[in-house]
Amino acid sequence: MEVYTSDSSDTDSREQKTLDYGRMNLTVITLDDDLHAKKALKTHKDFETLLLNHNKLTLLPPALTKFINLKVLDLSSNCLTQLPEAICNLPLVTLIAKNNNLTNKSLPKSFVMRNAALKELNLSGNQLTHFPEQVLELRQLRYFYAGANKITSISKDIWKMQRWGREEFVCI
């Protein structure tokens, strides 16, 4: 399997810290084996962006928790039915999980990330039926997307987000 890391290009450092497994039609990914197979000079801790978008993943690999400096995780357009609690141990700033099969019950009980840094959360195009209350815990959140779900009710406490200075917050 060909894994793209942008080390070979003359691009900025952000791209050099990106591991791109997007659009590879993967059903399973281990991350550990793939990094070793490529004899990568980098380890999990060297990456800040992990792109797993547009695959057929149903589960996230356990090795995901080894990406201790991960800021951006794109899980969009897969077949995920669960976001594990362990995802909250990552220092994510952006979590994109749009266009999967996530329900309210399959979300972590709390979205409070390590260092409480999450600023963007995209859950559009899933199977949510009501506003995820856990989002109210995210004081740094600036962008929340939940369009193209089956949401029929929004939390009465959504006003708290405006109090935290979120003028352009909810996109449902």
Could you give the maximum distance between any two Cα atoms of the chain, in Å?
Answer: 52
Q: Identify the CA nearest to 76 among candidates 5, 130, 124.
A: 124
Number of folded domains that form the chain: 1
56 close to 86: Cβ distance less than 8 angstroms: no
Q: What is the pLDDT of residues 18-61, one digit of tens each?
A: 999 999 999 998 776 655 555 455 788 999 999 999 999 999 98
Q: Looking at residue 25, which CATH number applies to its domain? A: 3.80.10.10
The residue segments making up the domain with residue 99 are 4-171
What's this model's pTM, rounded to 2 decimal places? 0.84
